[in-house]
Structure 1
């Protein structure tokens, strides 16, 4: 019953072993990484850039935060742009998907160059798998959509609600990144408790809106791969936000106990 309802919202999976395998890999790897974050084993960027540094016995290469972030997002952005050349003749849904992915990663690059205030750095060993994940997920999502061109549309059309969710997500994410950037003056690298927007309810509202962003992209796409990647992203950001809240509690005695990690009043 549940499966039949779910299948009414997605294209039938294409006969592609690659896409089927990537659906499983994306979901399980992101979910596992989120579980690891919650347990204290972090990807080394942002406030956790040196979390595992003292535990490592091998020499680690450190990137500046700006260089590392550009390395994360640029390959995925180029993959989305290249898809307009590789697959020029597509329907409206596929055009929406390619445009949403290109805009998503363009916004991230713009924020790195113009908005964000950085402290710390990023470890190359963490930057490589994150960049590869973004690139492969973008390419796989577009390729899965390409394979769905000649398959009948799902009974329930979600692309227009998807556009709305995407715009809400990308706008809310940008706004809260802007609020974070205003916490520090030029040259100031000290962390402070964020405020304004939804920061009074959750410590990671930018993650919440990123989830809404990817839900919108999944609704636009309506492929199994897109939903698998988004579900994995939700698990990852739940783990990362839980670890972030725990970090703030450990660093600031005045951190409000009623401020949740990701979902207002719940989690």
Structure 2
């Protein structure tokens, strides 16, 4: 957990200095590349698969609360690893180095969260009615819904055969440039609350450390590229950031 928090600090500092070289910031100098679809699959699938493997080794794998938490985790990562990549449009590529760093993080993060949920946490059945779990579950659901909605808006920006970037509009894009990132931060903050555990907190902190700099970069990129970009739209948090 301390390692993950340290990685969060290093990631935040690094991403404020250097834009991660994939997506719209793809550029040379980062070694061999692979198709973005394959990169996303390789990056995100360990989070789903390793979590499941570590989870089934836990003494509390059949308890109701761990099973609910397992379902939430897998719902997110099965989509992110096995659905989202095949909905990407265009022939973009991703450095193997970037995908490899994400794999290492996901192996660590999935392992410590799964071990807590199915072994160390010891959640009684009454935890499902605890205000902390209920509030966390609501945040997780809201964040997931926001993330999916934002992804859908981005997919619909381009018609068949189209390439390039456009200004996303509608939904939460009325207020922020990156509602997809906001959704993930809210989602994993909900996970931290629902699990009420340090592994969940470490993941929520790392998620923010990774996505806040990228959201700020996206916001600046949009404003520089599109002269008609909505002036009141913020990067990540409506009316604040």
TM-score, structure 2 as length reference = 0.89
Is 1:111 the counterpart of 2:84 in the alignment? yes
How far apart, in 2, do the equivalents of 1:119 and 1:253 lie?
27
Q: CA deviation at 1:27?
A: 1.8
CA contact (8 A) 2:46 2:107 kept: yes
CA contact (8 A) 2:60 2:122 kept: no
Is 1:79 the counterpart of 2:50 in the alignment? yes
Q: CA deviation at 1:88?
A: 6.4
Is 1:45 the counterpart of 2:22 in the alignment? yes
**Deviation per CA, 1:192-211, whole angstroms, max 9, x where unpaired?**
11111111211100011111
CA contact (8 A) 1:30 1:236 kept: yes
Q: CA deviation at 1:120?
A: 2.3
Q: CA deviation at 1:137?
A: 0.6
Q: CA deviation at 1:119?
A: 4.8
How far apart, in 2, do the equivalents of 1:80 and 1:249 lie?
39
Residue correspondences, number: 235
How far apart, in 2, do the equivalents of 1:173 and 1:150 lie?
28
**Deviation per CA, 1:209-264, whole angstroms, max 9, x where unpaired?**
11111112112211112112201211221111011111112222222232111000
Alignment equivalent of 2:9, drawn from 27, 31, 52: 31
How far apart, in 2, do the equivalents of 1:258 and 1:119 lie?
32
Tell me the C-alpha RMSD between the 2 structures: 2.2
How far apart, in 2, do the equivalents of 1:98 and 1:124 lie?
29
How far apart, in 2, do the equivalents of 1:233 and 1:170 lie?
14
| Structure with greater helix share of residues | 2
TM-score, structure 1 as length reference = 0.81
Map of 1:10 onto structure 2: none
Asked which structure has the greater RCO (Cα within 8 Å, sep 6+), the reply is: 1
CA contact (8 A) 2:65 2:123 kept: no
* Larger CA deviation: 200-209 vs 116-125: 116-125
Gaps of 5+ in 2: none
Q: CA distance change for structure 1 residues 119 and 247 in 2, over 3 Å: closer, same or farther?
A: farther
Alignment equivalent of 1:143, drawn from 93, 106, 115: 115
Map of 2:145 onto structure 1: 171
How far apart, in 2, do the equivalents of 1:72 and 1:245 lie?
25
**Deviation per CA, 1:129-160, whole angstroms, max 9, x where unpaired?**
11221232111111123223289x99x75112
Q: CA distance change for structure 1 residues 24 and 131 in 2, over 3 Å: closer, same or farther?
A: same
How far apart, in 1, do the equivalents of 2:181 and 2:90 lie?
18
* Larger CA deviation: 70-79 vs 247-256: 247-256
Q: CA distance change for structure 1 residues 25 and 232 in 2, over 3 Å: closer, same or farther?
A: same
SS at match of 1:229: helix
Map of 1:212 onto structure 2: 186
CA contact (8 A) 1:97 1:142 kept: no
